[in-house]
Every structure is written in structure tokens, then in C-alpha cells.
Structure 1
Amino acid sequence: MTWIFTVLGFIIIGVGLRDVFHTLLHPSGQGGLTKAAMNSTWRISKPLGLKAVSLAGPFGIVAVILLWAALQVLGWALVYYPHVPQGFTYADGINPSRYPDFIEALYISTVTLSTLGFGDVIATDPWIRALSPAEALIGFALLTAAVSWFLQLYPALARRRALALRLTVLRDGLYLQHLSEFTPETTSRVLDSITDGIIQTRVDLTQTSESYYFRESTAAASLATSLSYAVALSELAKDLADPEVRASGLALHHSLQDLSTLMSNSLGIKGSTTDDTFQSYASDHKYDYQPQDPSNR
């Protein structure tokens, strides 16, 4: 009967490690548990107001890290449970009969995962002595993974906000209205820089899809509000006579379509057109999306 707990424990351990791998190391960045936890945090926060939505991303990250740790603690506790207390030696003054066996297994697992090493409980069972260092290594790896996650996530957010601010500056500077006054080289260079930003955002959302659940505190830094200006620029530029500007406009147009497709397929942001998808994106982040009419420059 004891083998059932051991097998179940290793299954839970494997599920947790698989989610860490798919979230942080797999090219798609799509850990199933992580995605469910982030999406649940986002949905719960939306009815609670703008402040709660703005905090949904950070809270979601913390929730995922705690979930990863909880799965390891529970999994290893099930592995230890059949061997408690006979498979361990206790320090003087500790009577293991005072504690329920499963609670004691959870305690041993938590201390081992956190690498605290109190020294009050020492494994004597040969198999447990061989396996418990692996849990300590996993605990250290989880800490490293959490730090690595932040190092991946916040640069992606910074790039997205920089692109949004660039589009906001162009919109406030009436760039669309004065487009005909610039040389084709200047126009093409501006359009290409926006295309590069859109492509980078698409890559960031692929590798760190959880960054979607971070709402910017100001409309100027929110890509959800400024994408309408990128759409208007692409619609105008791709129909201009100059071939260089037209090529840059088409490239921007296709990059926006690709971003829209990613949001529809991976993030569940639905829309019949690119504009519709981006409007749903803005609404999901509780921002207004104002389509621009390129014909009224």
C-alpha cells in the first residue's frame, strides 16, 4: 500500500517540474498550470476595479511561484509519508508521536525544500537518505527559476511600454497628419522601427505570455491604447506611391496581423479583424481603443 503514496508523490513532483520547464525553458512559454493560475488571477481581479487589475500580474506571478513550491512540498511529503516516523531520527526533546504522521511529512518536506536544515529530523532510511538531497536541489532550482523569471519578464514589459510610448509620442506630434512632409527615407525608417517593436512584442508574448496580464498604470504607456495608431500608419503607408514607404507599410501591416493572430490563438482575445482584436485587447485591460481614420489626416 505504501507504494501508492510514493507513486502519487512522484507524479505530483513531475507535474510541478513539467510546468516550470514549459513556462521558463520551452520556446512556447506555455505552462498549463501557470497559464490557468495567471488567467484565474486576472479574471478574479477584473470585477474588483482598476487597482486590482493593475496588481493582477504581480500577484499572479507570486501565486504561480507558491503553487510550484506547494506541489513540490506535497509531492515529497507523500514520498516521505510511509517512512514517518520509523525512517527518521529525531533530536533530543522531540517526540514524533505528538505529531500526525502526514503533518510531520509535510514539515520534513518543507524544511528540506527550503534547505533550512534545522537538524531536528534526520533521515535514516537508505532510500530517503538518497532521495532527500534531490528535493533540496529542486528547492534551490525553484529559487533560481523565480529570479530568472523576473529577469525575463520585466525587460519584456519595458520593451512593450517603450513601443507604446513611441506610438503615443507620434500620435501627439500629429505624425500621421504631416506624413507627406517627410522624405520617404525618414518615413520608412520610422515605420520600420515600429515594425521592429511589434515583432519584438509578438516574440515576448510568445515566450512570456504571462506578461499579457500586466496592466500599465497610464494610457500613454499602454500598448492596448496605442495600437490603433500603428494600424492607421500601416493602412496609410501601404497605399502610398513611394515603393520604399509602401514596403515598410506592408511590413508593419503584416506584423500587426501576426500579433493579432497570436492574441486570438494563444490568449483568447477574439475579433473578426485586426482592429477588432486590438479593441478586445484594450477592453480587457480596461482602456479605450480609438480607431484612427488614416483618410482624415
Structure 2
Amino acid sequence: MEGLISLVGAVVVMVILRDVFHTLWHPTRHGGLSRIVMTALWRLSSRASPRRRAAGVAGPLGMACVVAMWTCGVAVGWAVVYWPHMPEAFVFSSALEPTRHSRPVDALYISLVIVGTLGLGDIAPAEEWLRVVAPLESLVGFTLLTATVSWVLGIFPALARRRTLALRVCHLRRAGMTAGQLDSAAGAAVLGALAADVARVSVDFAQYPESYYFHDGTGDTSLALAIGYAAELAERGRQAKDPGAHIASAVLAAALDDLATVLDERFLHTGGARQQVLAAYERDHGGG
């Protein structure tokens, strides 16, 4: 029975580690526990605030909840591994009575001390296999901390690139480029640079899917509201007689198709064409 309980704890730890792996190092469109948490908070914020005031905190709050879930899951899982073997498999300080400090809460205390690398030493593993398992938990705790920092450092540059692209598109809209201006070498350069920026954002959505759940507001930094004009430029560029502009518009259209594919496969699931996907993206981010 003790072995079965410990096995349950090990399974909990493995589930959490698998989620960390697929969230940070091998993101897939199938999601995991972290994606469930982020999606649920995004949907709740959308329903709770029609004007999207709550949506602005959905992303940061979701990341905090995911990190808390990972930490608690690892701590609880290892506590379940330890608990069936208390008190005989542990050494207690002279100030503690082993039989009175062998409850589940004491196992959780041991786990939290180890995962946090605090090393208080009032309760320590005595059996050989536990003396190996306990340092492994410390390594997992340290890895989880560094992975979380890396996650945060990766998400926010991705958000900056997305908002920069939105601002660039808004600048082009305000500039009011005419068909004649697009049908030139300068127009080709503008469309080509725009296509490269769209491609970078597509990669960001694929590599950091949690960034989707960060709301950009309703101003010039909202890609969901601005991306439609980029599609309009791509269509206008197709009529250009300048070879460079014509090719650049085709590249921009392909980049927008790739962006729509990523958005639809991972978040929106409309199954529609590019125009439908971008419209759904706009609605989901507060565009009506």
C-alpha cells in the first residue's frame, strides 16, 4: 500500500514536469494543463467584462496561476511520496517527536523545504533511496525557478514584437499609401518588411502560445484590430505592375496565411479561410 501511494505521488510529479516541458521547451497545439488555465482565465475575463477591462490582467494572472500550479503540484506530489514512509524513514531533530510529526501536513512541509532548497534540517530523509530522491526534488525546484524566469523573459519580447507590428501597420494606414506608391521599389520594400514582421509574430504565437492571452487594448498597439489593413495592403499590392512590389505582396499574403493558420489551429478553431480567422481574432481580442 505504501508503494502504491508513493507511486501516485510520482505520477503527479511526472504530469507536472510533462506540462512544464511542453509549455516551455516543446510547445504543441494540443496544449496541456497550462493552456487550460490560461484559456479558462481568458474566457472568464471576456465574460466578466464586456469592455475588456479584466482582459488586461488575464495573461499575467494566468502565468502566475500556472507557476503556482507547477510549484504546488511538485510539492504535493513529492509529499505524497514521502508521507507513507514517515516516521521510520526520516530522522527528526531532538525537539520534534516523530510520531506527532508524521502527518500529511508534515510531509508537505518536508517537500516544501526541499523544493525551496531551504535546508532547515529538522526533518531529513534517512533511508538510502529517499536520500537520493530528496536532492532530485531540490534540482527540480531550482530548474522550475530558472525555467519560470526564462518563460517570462521570452513572453514579453514576443509581446513587444506583436505590438510593434500593430503600430507599424497603423502608421502605414495613417500614411495613406496610394496604389501608385505601392507600385514601386519603395512599396516593395515596405511590403517585404511588413511580411518579415508578420512571419516573426507567427513564430512567436507558435513558440509562446501563452502570449495570445495578453490583451493589447483597443488602440494602435492592438494587432487584432490592425492586421486587417495588412491584408488589404497585400491584396492591393497584387495589382502592382512593378515586379518587386508584386512579389513582396505575394510574400506578405503568404505570411498572413501562415499567421491565420497558427491562430486557427492553436486558439480559434474556426476552420475557415484567412479572412474569417482574422475576423475571429479581432472579435476575440475586443474588436466587437
TM over 0.5, yes or no?
A: yes
**CA distance, structure 2, for counterparts of residue 74 and residue 184 of structure 1:** 63
Q: How far off its partner does 1:204 sit?
A: 0.5
Number of aligned residue pairs: 286
Q: CA deviation at 1:48?
A: 2.0
Partner residue, 1:105: 107
Alpha-carbon distance between aligned partners in 2 of 1:197 and 1:155, rounded to the nearest angstrom: 13
- Give the counterpart letter for 2:5 in structure 1: F
Deviation at 1:239, TM superposition (A): 2.1
Residue of structure 1 in register with 2:94 after alignment: 92
AA paired with 2:220? A
> Where has structure 1 moved over 3 Å in runs of 4 or more?
27-31, 96-100
* Equivalent residue, structure 1, for 2:150: 148
Partner in structure 1 of residue 123 of structure 2: 121
User: 1:275 offset after TM fit, Å?
Assistant: 1.9
Deviations 1:214-233 (Å, cap 9, x if unpaired)?
Answer: 00134200100000110100
Kept in 1: contact 2:264–2:271 (CA 8 A): yes
Q: Residue type matched to 2:63 in 1? A: I
In structure 2, what is the equivalent of residue 295 of structure 1? none
* Separation (CA, whole Å) in 2 of partners of 1:269 and 1:192: 29
Whole-angstrom distance in 1 between the partners of 2:252 and 2:75: 48
Other-structure match for 2:197: 197
Inter-partner Cα distance in structure 2 for 1:140 and 1:29: 27
Q: In the TM superposition, what whole-angstrom CA distance separates every residue of 1:13-33 from its partner, at most 9, and x where no partner exists? A: 111111111111116476511
2: CA distance, partners of 1:221 / 1:183: 27
Cα distance in structure 1, aligned partners of 2:279 and 2:46: 17
Distance 1:132 1:29 in 2: 34
Per-residue CA deviations over 1:260-292 (Å, capped at 9, x if unaligned) read 11111111242633222111111111125xxxx
Q: Aligned pair 1:61/2:63, yes or no?
A: yes
Partners of 1:2 and 1:31 in 2: how far apart? 33
Task: Name stretches of at least 5 consecutive residues in structure 2 with no aligned partner.
Answer: none
Aligned-residue sequence identity (percent) comes to 37
Per mean C-alpha deviation after superposition, the further-off stretch among 89-98 and 132-141 is 89-98
Q: Is 2:38 the partner of 1:32?
A: no
Question: Which residue of 2 is the match for residue 249 of structure 1?
Answer: 249
1:1-297 matched pairs, under 5 angstroms: 1-26=1-26, 28=28, 31-49=31-49, 50-99=52-101, 101-175=103-177, 178-181=178-181, 184-270=184-270, 272-288=272-288
User: What letter matches 1:119 in structure 2?
Assistant: G
> Aligned in 2, Cα 1:30/1:153: closer, same or farther, shift over 3 Å?
farther
Q: For 2:170, what is the secondary structure of its paired residue?
A: helix
TM superposition score normalised by structure 1: 0.91
- Checking the alignment, whether the CA contact within 8 Å between 1:53 and 1:215 is kept in structure 2 is yes
- 1:86-124 Cα shifts (integer Å, max 9, x gaps): 211222322344456211111111111111112211111
